[in-house]
Amino acid sequence: MMLQTSDDVAKNILNVAGDDTKGNGTIAKPFLTLNKAWAHCKTLGIGQEITIYIDGEVKGFFLNTGEANNAHIKFKGLSGACIKNTTASKPAIHAGFNTGNDNNITLTIEDLIIDGSGISTFPQNGGGIYFDSNKTLTLNNVTIQNCNATGYGGGVYLMNGSLSMNTVEIKKCTASNSGGGIYFDSNKTLTLNNVTIQNCNETGYGGGVYLMNGSLSMNTVEIKKCTASNSGGGIYFKSDKQCILNSCTINECNTKIGGPGGGIYLEGTALTTATIKNSTIKDCKRHNAFYCPDGGGIYMRDKITVTINDTTISGCEGENGGGIYIYNGATLKADNLRIESCKVRSEGGGIKVSGDSLAAGGTVTLTNSNILNCEAGSIGATGSACNGGGVYIGMKSSFTMNGGSISNNKVTRDDSSGGNGGGVYVKEGTVVEKGGSFTMENGSISGNNAIKDGGGIYFASKETLTLANVEIKECVAKTDGGGIFFNEGKGTATNLTVTKCKADKKGGGILIRNSSGTDNFFILEGNSSITENELTAGTVSDRSGTGVYVGNLNSTPFKIKGNVQIGTFGSSRTLTDANDVYLSDTETIYIDKNENLTKNPVAQITPKMYGNSVQVLSDDGGEDIKTNYTKFTVTPNSTTSPPTKYTIGEDGKLQTIP
């Protein structure tokens, strides 16, 4: 074993298989153990930077703070050097006890293998390395393997100081509590560069990495096949400081008993931020049919704002939020995020954002992002409500999407009144709690499928649905609302296209109704078009509103404004694609004040009730019906023989055509 101080390079000790009794630290007579070499180091003055070179395999190292306070120690391995733990109930390297502000060891380990396989009785904390100091532990080109702890930190346990790892591999390490690979509890920084952590697990939190109170910086890190019994299969982060992941991969991590965050768990204890960029989170799947984590890929909660750029989350599974779950005041901002092929047992195959009666909701803003091929209800045990194949927006929560797409997602099971919202599901609130809101601009919702209602969007909240420059295409509902199922709320659709969507009975393109409330509305405006949608019920009389179904509005107006057209019309104002507007009971189309609709025809109306006194157009009592009544056609009453033809008078009521 060779020792070198910073100001006396001539004092060298080399261990190649020496003898602590007869060795004197020279090349000819090396020491055998690290502790003997350290005893010699103390004679040189521990205030200096000391490097101990290791050749071959040596036993572990135990150092008490009291004998090494303010020491600067470096262990540097020569070819194939290994520190092997052969001491029962001790870490391979133990540096420091918690002695308060006097604990100031600085330790660097380079070019070494630390192997814990030589013992059967494991230490309580820090199976490979135990470091309790106010200073820094640095690992360069180090492998830590086969290390175990009955408490915390199977690979590395750190308290109070900083930890920097560069080109490090941690594998096959376990902890009976938290931090299978790394346990870090300090208000300082954990820095990982070019690090691999694999096959690590624990029975608490953080299968790969557990961090409490400090900052986390990860660059080019892979965490693979790590497991936590509770939360954070790959990473558990709970702090009021910053978290940064750059060019990282979280692969095949999970939680055993359904704790949140199969891949990553992020919690802000005070206002803080996390950034994930150029990264991949994949195949973080459920442990079994009954234990599925909330947030299969990422779970975020409380006072944290998470920014994700240029990142893919794929093949992840959970109870709710297969890709991401946002809860209790957390905020997600993402640009070029791709969530693909994620699955849940219950709600939000791609993303779930929600609060509840006791917790705040979350906020999501996505830009140029895509949620593709995700599923709700396709995994796990039956019996739960399954809604939102792509996105689930719950109580007190908002979701805004600028650009991008929600495509080819589906809800496959309708247990417990579920089965709704193949692309997007927006939940209702309560008497005292707000529901969710959804805004999409310059995007598309296509190819989504719901086993019940709302193939593209299911909206049941009293809050706002805003769609601008959006295309909803080729979505399918096995019951009603192929493109959109709008149950209540405040809906505004500008330059909306709904085309080639399908439902069984009602609303091939859009179903609009209001289950409660009087201040709700749905406005269709701008260059909006509803065309080529279908109803598929085997009995023709069961089909209502191939284009739009309007029913049970409870004084909620369905307004048409601007350059809107519902249906495709040929010569002689003939509807050619059957995309009509069906008005249930006494419902009408509302013409706004001073509105001059530009299309002619705007739509073909099919009323549930026919007769010369039936009102089908309404306004605020002005001249708006008179300006626009000729721009609508009426479906003949097929219950008479021959079918009775109708037109609309300037009062907005039906009139028979002689």
- pLDDT-derived band at 514 (thresholds 50, 70, 90) equals confident
pLDDT of 151 over the 50 cut: yes
pLDDT of 3 over the 50 cut: no
- pLDDT-derived band at 593 (thresholds 50, 70, 90) equals confident
- pLDDT-derived band at 46 (thresholds 50, 70, 90) equals low
pLDDT at position 204 is: 92
Q: Tell me: the pLDDT tens digits for 292-306?
A: 889 999 999 999 999
Q: Tell me: the pLDDT tens digits for 139-148?
A: 999 999 999 9
The arithmetic mean of pLDDT across residues 203-214, rounded, is 97
pLDDT of 241 over the 60 cut: yes
Segments of 328-448 assigned E as strands: 331-340, 343-347, 351-354, 363-367, 370-372, 375-376, 391-393, 398-402, 405-407, 410-411, 424-426, 437-441, 444-446
Buried b or exposed e, range 234-265, using 16+ CB within 10 angstroms: bbbbbbbbebbbbbbbbbbbbbbebbbbbbbb
Nearest to 465 by CA among 430, 426, 409, 496: 426
pLDDT at position 222 is: 99
pLDDT at position 18 is: 63
Q: Tell me: the pLDDT tens digits for 400-443?
A: 999 999 999 999 988 767 899 999 999 988 767 889 999 999 99
pLDDT at position 120 is: 58
Give the percent of the chain with pLDDT over 70: 89
The arithmetic mean of pLDDT across residues 351-380, rounded, is 95
Q: What are phi and psi of 531, to 5 degrees?
A: -145, 155
Segments of 368-489 assigned E as strands: 370-372, 375-376, 391-393, 398-402, 405-407, 410-411, 424-426, 437-441, 444-446, 449-450, 457-459, 464-468, 471-473, 476-477, 484-486
Distance of CA 370 to the CA centre of its chain: 12
pLDDT at position 415 is: 72
Which position has the higher pLDDT, 74 or 467? 467
| Residue pair 452/411 in contact by the 8 Å Cβ criterion | yes
pLDDT of 585 over the 90 cut: no
Helix (H, G, I), strand (E, B) or coil at 571: helix
pLDDT at position 92 is: 75
- pLDDT-derived band at 258 (thresholds 50, 70, 90) equals confident
pLDDT of 528 over the 90 cut: yes
Q: What are phi and psi of 603, to 5 degrees?
A: -165, 160
The arithmetic mean of pLDDT across residues 374-378, rounded, is 95
Helix (H, G, I), strand (E, B) or coil at 33: coil
- pLDDT-derived band at 26 (thresholds 50, 70, 90) equals low
Q: Which residue has the tokens 């706002």?
A: 464
The arithmetic mean of pLDDT across residues 599-622, rounded, is 94
pLDDT at position 541 is: 87
pLDDT of 12 over the 50 cut: no
The arithmetic mean of pLDDT across residues 492-496, rounded, is 98
pLDDT at position 379 is: 87
Which residues lie closer than 8 Å to 30 by C-beta, 6 or more apart? 1, 2, 13, 14, 15, 16, 17, 18, 19, 23
DSSP code for 169: E
pLDDT of 483 over the 90 cut: yes
The arithmetic mean of pLDDT across residues 570-577, rounded, is 94
Which position has the higher pLDDT, 485 or 66? 485
Distance CA 645, CA 655 (A): 9
The arithmetic mean of pLDDT across residues 283-300, rounded, is 87
Which position has the higher pLDDT, 63 or 584? 584
| Residue pair 267/240 in contact by the 8 Å Cβ criterion | no
pLDDT of 17 over the 60 cut: no
pTM for this entry: 0.94
Distance CA 311, CA 343 (A): 18
Distance CA 28, CA 642 (A): 116
Q: Tell me: the pLDDT tens digits for 89-142?
A: 677 777 754 434 456 788 999 999 999 885 656 678 999 999 998 999 999 999
pLDDT at position 119 is: 67
- pLDDT-derived band at 11 (thresholds 50, 70, 90) equals very low
- pLDDT-derived band at 45 (thresholds 50, 70, 90) equals low
